[in-house]
Amino acid sequence: MNFIKMTYRCHLFRCTILKEGSVTMKKEILVFIFDGYADWESAYICSELNGAETDYIVKTLSLDKEPKISMGGFRIMPDYSVSDYPNDFAMLLLIGGYAWMEQKNNDIQPVVEYAVKHHIPVAAICNASNFMAENGYLDNIEHSGNTLDYMESQAPHYKGNSNFIEKQAVECSGIITANGTASLEFAKEIMLYLNVKPVEKINEWYKFNKLGLYQQ
């Protein structure tokens, strides 16, 4: 098999060629998408996790296999639906969007439950954190979100008020939460949790993207 064919086969089978004769499997990160999902909230972290030098590959998950259109107009064909996703994924990412407020994403709950039960980390940002709150996943752990008042208004069964932390992003017990302005902090906490690169490199990456090259 020549190198081009082998590269193609490895792309299909989630593996990376390290050098000739050496292949390693990539661990899948599932990103839940739906019509109107906030695409920018996943942009920083997905581009980092999906890099050739990482142990991970990003795959999309939806309630069905129909194409989904993001808030920014990107049309995405999901890799998996809730009925055929792999059970060995490395993390579940829940991205924000108005559909959470409209109760249109409730059928993702069994996937979240599977992840939590099997100690697979879950990361939720913006309105997705309200979903986590409503379903009891934040009651006993430190977490963040789009202000405590907003979380209480969107999650009437939420009982974790005393554990709400006023920070951009929080990781606790394998669950990462963030508010809608915190896509960088969200990415940073995920990268730290998954040990994507050395801590000092992650901090450098965060500072560079947060501050930029020049003051505006």
As annotated, the active-site residues are: 126
- Give the C-alpha distances (Å, rounded to integers) separating 60 from 52, 85, 187: 18, 10, 17
How large is the C-alpha radius of gyration of the chain? 18
